[in-house]
Chains A and B, each alone.
Chain A
Amino acid sequence: MRISDLFRRREIDQRVDEEFEFHLRMQIEENIRSGMNASDACVAARRKLGNRTQVTEEVYRMNTISFLEEVAQNVRFSVRTLRRNPGFAMTAVLVLALGLGSSTAMFSALDRILFRPLPYADEDRLVHFGMTFPSFSGRGAADSDLILIAGSYQGSWKPVPEPFTAVTTVMWGKGSSCDVTEQPSERLLCAQVESNFLKTFGVRPVLGRDFTPEDDVRGAPQVAIISHKVWTRRFGADPGAIGRTMDLDGASASVIGVLPAEFSMPTGEADILRPQQQYPLPPGQLGSMLTAFGRLKPGVTGEQARAAIAPIIEANAKELPRVGGNSPQPRVVRLRDHLIGDAPRVAWLLLGAVAGLLLIACVNVTNLIVARLAARNREFEVRAALGAGRARLARLALTESLMLAVVGGTLGLALAAGMLRMFVQMAPSSMREIERAALDLRVFAVAGALALVAGLAVGAWPAFSVWRVRELQHGSRATPAARPRMRFALVTAQIALTVVMLGGSALLLRTLWNQVAVPLGYQSEQVFTMRVEPNAARYPPSSRGSRHALFEQLLDRIRQIPGTVAATMSSDEFPSGRHSVASRIAVDRQPPRDLPPGMRLRGQEVTPGYFQTFRIPILKGRAFAESDRDGPPVAILSESAARLLFPGQDPIGHTVERGYNNTDLTRVTRWAEVVGVAGDVRNVGPTLDSDPEIYVPAENWGYLASYAVYAIRTQASSVDAAAFMKQAVADLDPLTPVTVEPLDAEVDRQTERPRFVAWLLAAFAGLALLLAAAGLYGVASYLVTQRTRDIGVRMALGASPADISRQVMGEAGRWIAAGAVLGCALAYVAIRAIEAQLYGVGSLDPLSWIAALGVLCGALFLAVWRPASRAARVDPMEALRAD
């Protein structure tokens, strides 16, 4: 039976030979003793012993083939038994498929966040580093504010300082989009990288070559490495694409390489990589901001790296003009943390929930099998009596549950494919790794392993109890009394797990409710926004004329869209764009002063329709008028800005500093009079306090800004509004791509993560509850059937139907209570995992837990209702006659 016996043929051969020989000799001797002559004795002995080869063969079969044969036999047998009980088999398979399918889909969705290495060589040594400014890094700040300055980059970071082995940069912000200016024209995402960029990340182009230092010199010929997608889309995946040219932003660049399909840019997305070509910088220029990445020497910690770069950052900072109140701080973040952020927390939570569901599914199926086992006890006893070994029977029982798991797992895969599609659609943008999830080999392997584990888990108890079968029992009560208790214990375990999941989802749903219910300070319905970024080559910045004209004309057109109630153009995305922030400001003709640490002031240039469009209330003073755009400078403060800058005073009539004069780009201090105070807008996120904001009228738009954001409040339908806005842009410049989005979508996005987590958890908890209720129903029905006779006797002795159903309910109630108590204890420990996700509700929130327990008890009592009422309808005469 042992697999190793498969390889011991020779040894067996030899032993069989020797034994045969011995046996033969003994037989011959005996024959001679009984009077035969030598040759007769020999022949007779041989005849008696039979064919030696046959014996050897039998020993082989026993040793080897029988193992495989038994498996096949068990499988055949299981298929037959299961086919004879389609109800049981279907239920078990479906329950397992549900558990395995959800687990597989969840694993696949979260794999990239939790387990799969980033697609870079030795990713654990890659870091994102740079300097961060206190005014940037307040609440809601991202690591994308971690920068280096090109002006000091080459001098300080090349050659690479200790403890790095390589340092590389991508140009920050600028150049994130570029236009293909040949047909078919399209807007792509371009990243401008240093020539060692791909090398540092351990990525090689699949076709063509990498950048060389010669490519990355100011004035060098334009070259580009294109993404696999662009290669497929624009060049039909033709290897001849290398050496061809593409017109990018009006200049011809030759394609020198193609990125691997699985490549992903650490700064977001990129269709095209181009060299920065900014060095040598013209004298006196700071150059652009850079996003820097480094590869550390093995074994270097982030803290060590931070300490090492601190002096360099400090020296770099000295060369900068004073940008904020405080000096920049060095920071080093592991690339993985930078890219994935705090998503793993949520991911573990979801994985825990789905594991709970799988566990409940397994317990449920175990329960089904145990129930069936009770009925099959007899069969196993007879088998045992007829000589089937206990191990053999246990293996048979295990084969059956493994088969259920395999079929369930296969069905689960199909289910997982569907679920995964749903997850991907629901996935919050802060977990963008989910979008790339797919059912690949890795996921199949995990799904297989899960099915195997589930099969073993489900089969363990039955196999064990079969192992214990040894006596032939007889009499009318074939089932040992211990069985229902075992089944109830299993149901209790399911209930306990369900309590945890229900409680967790109740808390998360309250969190979601709290977040959605936060007054945002504006009204998002019927508002549509659109960001317009004209091609930089055709609309050059810093020149009077075309860009400015485009922006203004577009505003006029948008105002005229039918159904428009109000329209506005502003410098930044509503509500959370971070185009302009300051940690320093001057008021009332005083010298500038620093804001309290961690505070930042947002500046926003808007046209007069702004407050009307977003329905932001003007609390004091007035809104902007058309005449403010070219009159004396004025400003409107948000409520919190008024409190911050003029505490305890009426801000109207005071003045605040207005920075650059957009017309000639010189910094002249102009003093804007505060004419109004507007309500606060949740501009950091729905759950965080608002950043104070200063609004000024937009002047001479387009001299500095590369884009403008338009918004309209409309009475038209969303389809019409979007079409009209797009048409307005296309009328002026058909080549500028735009996307129109309802503001509601942006609002939804702010709560998409709590929504994702809450709905998923609630769905899992609902399924768990369903399974637990089904389990309880099964056990209770079984119990009632078992006790029909007892019930009959009790009724004959005068118990009323209500007494009987009360007794059944009472018994089930005890098990439910036990499960609930156990569940609460379990939850008390497990709920810590959820705490970080909560908002406006404590993890011990009584309402949530009472609601969870209420739903639980409601569903479970509903499940026992039918068995209980069936018990009450037992006819005593029939019940007593039945035996």
Chain B
Amino acid sequence: MGKDKAELLQGTLDLLVLKTVETMGPLHGWAIAKRIEQVAQDLLELKYGTLYPALMRLEQNGWISSEWGTSENNRRARFYSITKQGRKQLALEAENWEQMVAFITRVLGSTR
């Protein structure tokens, strides 16, 4: 089923989650996963077991905050939103990512 789907590069999940909650506002975990999968156009499958620990970790680092709320279908769910610190971290990680990409591109280019 997911054989041709990309594994997540370590460290990039944080970036994806942060970006998602930044652009979409408070979301529950399910919506975050759906949104990322949707944007990735099914190139990537986000498992619950991957997403959930990441949410915990981000919250512990103070980059996102969460509170209980009610979902669109009236279920009790936890909603995550980005914090001020999270925005900074996002900017930083985005920059890192770009440099990483530039670096890897150069490496691939130079060895070719």
Chain A interface extent, by class = 20 to 34
Among A22, A51, A389, A470, residue most surrounded by chain B Cβ atoms (within 10 Å) = A22
One digit per residue, 1 when the CB lies within 8 angstroms of any chain A CB and 0 when it does not, for chain B 15-51 equals 0000000000000111000000000000000011100
Task: For the complex formed, measure the closest distance between the CB of A483 and the CB atoms of chain B, giving whole angstroms.
Answer: 21
Q: A59 touching B53 by the CB < 8 A rule?
A: yes
Q: Do B96 and A384 touch (CB < 8 A)?
A: yes
> A23-31, A230-238, A424-432, A811-819: which lies at the B interface?
A23-31
Docked-complex contact A55 and B48, CB < 8 angstroms: yes
Asked whether, in the complex, the Cβ of A19 is within 8 Å of the Cβ of B103, the reply is: no
Residue of A1, A16, A19 ringed by the most chain B CB atoms within 10 A: A19
Which residue in B10, B12, B29, B92 is a CB contact (below 8 Å) of A19? B29
Q: Answer yes or no: B105 CB below 8 A from chain A CBs.
A: no
CB of A33 to closest CB in B, whole Å: 11
Instruction: Please tell me if the beta carbons of A29 and B73 are within 8 angstroms of each other in the complex.
Output: yes
- Report how far A260 CA is from B35 CA in the complex, Å: 78
A18 at the interface (CB under 8 A from B): yes
Q: Determine if B76 is an interface residue (Cβ-Cβ < 8 Å).
A: yes
Query: Does A62 sit at the interface, judged by CB under 8 A?
Result: yes
A19 proximity list for chain B (CB < 8 A): 29, 52, 77-78
Nearest chain-A residue to B45 (Cβ)?
A: A48
In the complex, which of the residues B12, B28, B53 contacts A58, with contact meaning CB atoms closer than 8 Å? B53
* In the complex, residue of chain A having the shortest beta-carbon distance to the beta carbon of B60: A1
Complex contact A22–B11 (CB within 8 A)? no
Indicate whether A649 reaches chain B with its CB closer than 8 angstroms. no
Give B55 Cβ to nearest chain A Cβ, in Å: 8
- Minimum C-beta distance from A394 to chain B (A): 14
Contact with A along B78-90 (1 / 0, CB 8 A): 1000000000000
C-alpha spacing A48/B48, complex, angstroms = 8
From known contacts A19-B29, A23-B29, infer whether A386 and B71 are also in contact, taking CB-CB under 8 Å.
Answer: no
Task: Give chain A's interface secondary structure class.
Answer: helix
Say if the beta carbon of B56 comes within 8 Å of chain A: yes
Closest to B77 in A: A22
**B30 touching A26 by the CB < 8 A rule?**
yes
Give Cα A50 to B75, complex, Å: 21
Contact A22–B29 (Cβ < 8 Å)? yes
A22 to B77, CA, bound (A): 7
> A471 an interface residue at 8 Å Cβ cutoff?
yes
* Beta-carbon contact of B48 and A49 below 8 Å: yes
Asked if B6 lies at the interface with its beta carbon under 8 angstroms from chain A, I say no
**Chain B contacts with A in 59-112, Cβ cutoff 8 A:** 60-61, 71, 73, 75-78, 92, 95-96, 99-100, 103
Would A387 and B11 be within 8 Å (CB), given that A50-B48, A472-B99 are in contact?
yes
Given the contacts A19-B29, A22-B71, A54 and B99 also touching, CB distance less than 8 Å: no
Q: Tell me how far the C-beta of B88 lies from the nearest C-beta in chain A, rounded to whole angstroms.
A: 12
Give the interface size class of chain B. Answer: 20 to 34
**Residue ID in chain B nearest A54 by CB atoms:** B49
**A389 neighbours in B (Cβ, 8 Å):** 61
With A22-B30, A62-B56, A472-B99 as contacts: A50 and B11 at CB distance below 8 Å? no
Is B57 engaged at the interface, CB distance under 8 Å to the other chain? Answer: yes
Within the complex, which residue of A1, A18, A63 is in contact with B76, where a contact is CB–CB below 8 Å?
Answer: A18
Cβ of A18 to closest chain B Cβ, rounded Å: 7
Residue of A whose beta carbon sits closest to that of B96: A385
CA A49 – CA B92 in complex, angstroms? Answer: 32
Q: Nearest-CB distance from A70 to chain B (Å)? A: 13
Please give me the residue from chain B that is nearest to A61 by CB atom. B53
Question: Does chain B have a CB within 8 A of A485?
Answer: no
Known: A385-B99, A470-B96. A62 touches B29 (CB 8 A): no
Contact across chains for A472 and B76 when beta carbons are under 8 A apart:
no
B75, A385: Cβ atoms closer than 8 Å: no
- Which chain B residue has the least Cβ–Cβ distance from A389? B61
Identify which of A15, A51, A62, A471 contacts B53 (C-beta below 8 A).
Answer: A62
Within the complex, the shortest CB–CB distance from B72 to chain A, in Å, comes to: 10
User: Which of A5, A16, A22 is B28 in contact with, Cβ under 8 Å?
Assistant: A22
Whether A2 is near chain B, meaning CB under 8 Å from some CB there, is yes
Q: In whole angstroms, what is the CA distance A588 to B48 when docked?
A: 115
What's the nearest-Cβ distance from chain B to residue A163, in Å? 60
- List B contacts of A22 (CB < 8 A): 28-30, 71, 75-78
Q: Shortest Cβ distance from B27 into chain A, in angstroms?
A: 12
> Which of A373-397 touch B at CB < 8 Å?
384-387, 389
By a CB distance below 8 angstroms, the chain B residues around A51 are 49
Which residue of A is nearest B78, CB measured? Answer: A19
Complex: A49 Cα to B30 Cα, angstroms? 11
B29 touches A386 (CB 8 A): no
Q: How far is the CA of A36 from the CA of B54 in the complex (A)?
A: 30
CB of B60 within 8 A of CB of A2, answer: yes
Q: A5 to chain B: which residues have CB within 8 Å?
A: 60
Q: B52 near A16 (CB under 8 angstroms)?
A: yes
A178 and B30 CA atoms in complex are apart in Å by 93
A62 to B53, CA, bound (A): 8
Would A386 and B11 count as touching, CB distance under 8 A? yes
A15 to B30 Cα, complex, angstroms = 15
Query: Once the chains bind, are B49 and A385 in contact (CB under 8 Å)?
Result: no
Chain A residues, Cβ within 8 Å of B52? 16, 19-20, 23, 55, 59
Residues of A close to B30: CB separation below 8 A: 22-23, 26-27
C-alpha spacing A48/B92, complex, angstroms: 33
Interface residues of A in 383-416 (CB under 8 A from B): 384-387, 389
A-B residue pairs in contact (CB < 8 Å), sample of 11: A1-B60, A18-B76, A22-B77, A23-B30, A23-B52, A26-B30, A50-B47, A51-B49, A55-B52, A62-B56, A389-B61
7 A-B pairs with least C-beta separation: A387-B11, A26-B30, A49-B48, A55-B49, A22-B77, A58-B53, A50-B49
Which B positions have Cβ atoms within 8 angstroms of A? 10-12, 28-30, 47-49, 52-53, 56-57, 60-61, 71, 73, 75-78, 92, 95-96, 99-100, 103
Given contacts A22-B77, A58-B49, A387-B10, list 14 more A-B pairs with CB under 8 A. A20-B52, A22-B30, A22-B76, A23-B30, A26-B30, A49-B47, A49-B49, A55-B52, A55-B53, A58-B53, A62-B56, A384-B96, A385-B103, A387-B11
